[in-house]
Structure 1
Amino acid sequence: MKLLLYASLLPVIATVTSGFLKYVLLYLHAVGLAWILIQRTELSVSTNMYGLRQAILNVSLPPKESWFNMGLWEKEGLTYHQACVALVNAVANYMKLGRRTKILDVGYGCGDSCFHFADAYECDVTGITLETQQWENAASRLQEQWQPLSDRMTLLQGNANDISSSMAGKQFDHIVCIDAAVHFGTKWDFFRDALPLLVPNGTIGLYDLVFPQPLNELSPFTQAIISWLCVKLHVSLEHCITITAYEEKLKALGYIDVSIQRLPNKNVFGGLANYMQEQQRRCIDSGLGLSINNRIFLTGAGSVYRLLGRREWVYPVLVTGRRPDSKTAIAGEPNSS
């Protein structure tokens, strides 16, 4: 009866609504219908006294890794951890990150990229992130899991759009920002403030998103979809620019040797979508189960990433730029005119 009542909403949505609202409601209806079918399937399966409930007792918590980027899925069979490391290494290689150098990692999440730079690249790492819970998690893991690296790591809480204050008087060989700049209030202020923090000839490197053409040149339907995605992903519409416009903005701010390389959509969005689907299946098959919120997250986000993997509405890219040598004055430095 519940399924029948819910399904009866479909013709109502199709006839009463129109435009972008219609597409959103149809999408949400499909997700809800899938959820009801999943629940019915699970309830119809006979169970033993205990089933696989012991799975929850055998999972190591907290997890040793807590990565949270889109990953780079160039090979089959990668774990999420491996794909995330591959994306970090791709940024590092693209910007020619040096070993045993000083790094500022902006938007580091729970610290995994910082730990990786300090361990694999033997760098002195300063990290800054906005979210209190992630900062506390990273600081705790540094003491419990990564204590040998603590003498060359500093994990801070702060706003990327205010690094000129939080990092006053400091300079770094490299500044990295992996899968975070799209969430800044305006990443152009971040780029402006980051330049004086680089040593002469120091480099900045990012994983970021760009668009194939200006937003106002897209069809109304595509504009509506992208605007909706930006709201859901907490992305400012100000960041919806092309590769050419991105390069011009960085050069106008004073960066040289600016370069942007596009990654295949299927190797980022498509790979993540596939992994989300498989991970949901693994959790259910192992007996762990999933909460409603986590199922909606994996199903909903996975559907969005699968769509982005097939449609070229947005491009995943690697970005790098360099600060000019010491002969060139940089706006924002105390000794600049």
Structure 2
Amino acid sequence: MATFKQALIEKVIVIGHKYAIDAKRLGDDALLAWSNLGFWQGQHDNYPQACRSLADQIARSIQLKSTDRVLDLGCGQGASLLHWLTHYQIQQLSAVELQADCVKRIQKQLPQVQIHCESFLNLKALQFLNSFDVVLCIDAAYHSHLNSFLDSASTVLNSKGRIAFHTLMWSENWQNCTYLQKQKYHYLLKSADVNWQHLMDQQQLVQILAQHDFTDIEIQDFSEPVLNGFAEYIETRKIEKTAFDLAQLKINMTAKLCRKLYQDGLVRYIQISAVKK
């Protein structure tokens, strides 16, 4: 009875976690599933393919090599880790993930990966055996203030180490918005666990990165293939509906937010790569 009760509690916690998502509803039923917005390049892309493409964009931006010591922040259900191991032959791979159930599954399926159940804003507290050549974060850094993210990541990154992550950025049109428009975005972004006051424009982003001793900064705008791509995928995907479907509702709301952000053009989805001095 105690075992059943514990399993039930864990199930409720998984469903209720703010970053948890039903990957099967998105089109990935793998044990180590993907859970990002994807990089959509064509109408025939499927969800796992688009997610791998987003991961490959990050890998390409930092010229990921098999000999790199790699730290994957916010690795979710573990698909990215499997991708680094099998496609890039990464020999030394570590990861950090908040969701305990994901960490347990990864520990069982990928015992060669050193994974910690912790916030990636608290890397100083973790006992890593070595510092890293590469720190990467797929589709998750925008949930935190960039200062906090870089403060944490810098502590575990080698000199000349590379970092790459996705975040959100104000476009040039943001400054022309009215007070009411800005308040609307406050609530829109809050629904996705993003603090609108943490967002910056491109000049501010570059300044913050430079203050953290990063150079060779490259910013790529992925708004069309990510925001618009994910929205189109969900809008055209046929889903069997039930009377009350919380998991699908969460997915649909995410797609609507992506559509809104893309159409308004006030928020850009970007990929940043840089090198530590």
With the shorter chain as reference, the TM-score category is 0.7 to 0.9
Matched, 1:293 2:246: yes
Note the C-alpha offset of 1:305.
1.7
The aligned amino acid for 1:230 is L
Instruction: Give runs of aligned pairs for residues 1-337 of structure 1, distance below 5 A.
Output: 63-123=30-90, 124-140=92-108, 142=109, 146=110, 150-151=111-112, 153-167=113-127, 170-184=130-144, 186-213=145-172, 218-263=177-222, 265-279=223-237, 281=238, 283-284=239-240, 289=242, 291-324=244-277
Cα 1:72–1:233 change in 2 (3 A) is: same
The aligned amino acid for 1:157 is C
| TM-score, with structure 2 as normaliser | 0.82
Cα 1:290–1:64 change in 2 (3 A) is: farther
Structure 1 gap ranges (5+): 1-60, 325-337
**Residues in 2 aligned to 1:219 and 1:253: alpha-carbon distance in whole angstroms:** 32
- Tell me, what secondary structure is at the counterpart of 2:135? strand
The aligned amino acid for 1:248 is Q
Partner of 2:11: none
- CA deviations 1:242-298 (Å, max 9, x no partner) are 1111111010111111221112x231111111221233x1x32xxx85742134224
Cα 1:212–1:119 change in 2 (3 A) is: same
Partner of 2:13: none
**Residues in 1 aligned to 2:252 and 2:118: alpha-carbon distance in whole angstroms:** 32
**Residues in 1 aligned to 2:243 and 2:161: alpha-carbon distance in whole angstroms:** 45
**Residues in 1 aligned to 2:94 and 2:104: alpha-carbon distance in whole angstroms:** 15
The aligned amino acid for 2:124 is S
- CA deviations 1:41-84 (Å, max 9, x no partner) are xxxxxxxxxxxxxxxxxxxx963442111110122211110001
Structure 2 gap ranges (5+): 1-27
- Tell me, what secondary structure is at the counterpart of 2:104? helix
**Residues in 1 aligned to 2:180 and 2:217: alpha-carbon distance in whole angstroms:** 33
| TM-score, with structure 1 as normaliser | 0.68
Q: Which has the higher helix share?
A: 1
Cα 1:115–1:190 change in 2 (3 A) is: same
**Residues in 2 aligned to 1:65 and 1:197: alpha-carbon distance in whole angstroms:** 26
- Tell me, what secondary structure is at the counterpart of 2:121? helix
Note the C-alpha offset of 1:215.
5.7
- Contact 1:260–1:317 (CA under 8 A) maintained in structure 2: yes
- CA deviations 1:151-185 (Å, max 9, x no partner) are 3x11211111110121456211100011111113x
**Residues in 1 aligned to 2:105 and 2:128: alpha-carbon distance in whole angstroms:** 25
- Contact 1:100–1:121 (CA under 8 A) maintained in structure 2: no
Report percent identity of matched pairs. Answer: 19
Cα 1:65–1:78 change in 2 (3 A) is: farther
- Contact 2:142–2:166 (CA under 8 A) maintained in structure 1: no
**Residues in 1 aligned to 2:32 and 2:235: alpha-carbon distance in whole angstroms:** 20
The aligned amino acid for 1:67 is W
Cα 1:192–1:297 change in 2 (3 A) is: closer
Partner of 1:50: none
Segments of 4+ moved more than 3 angstroms: 61-65, 213-217, 288-291
**Residues in 2 aligned to 1:298 and 1:193: alpha-carbon distance in whole angstroms:** 30
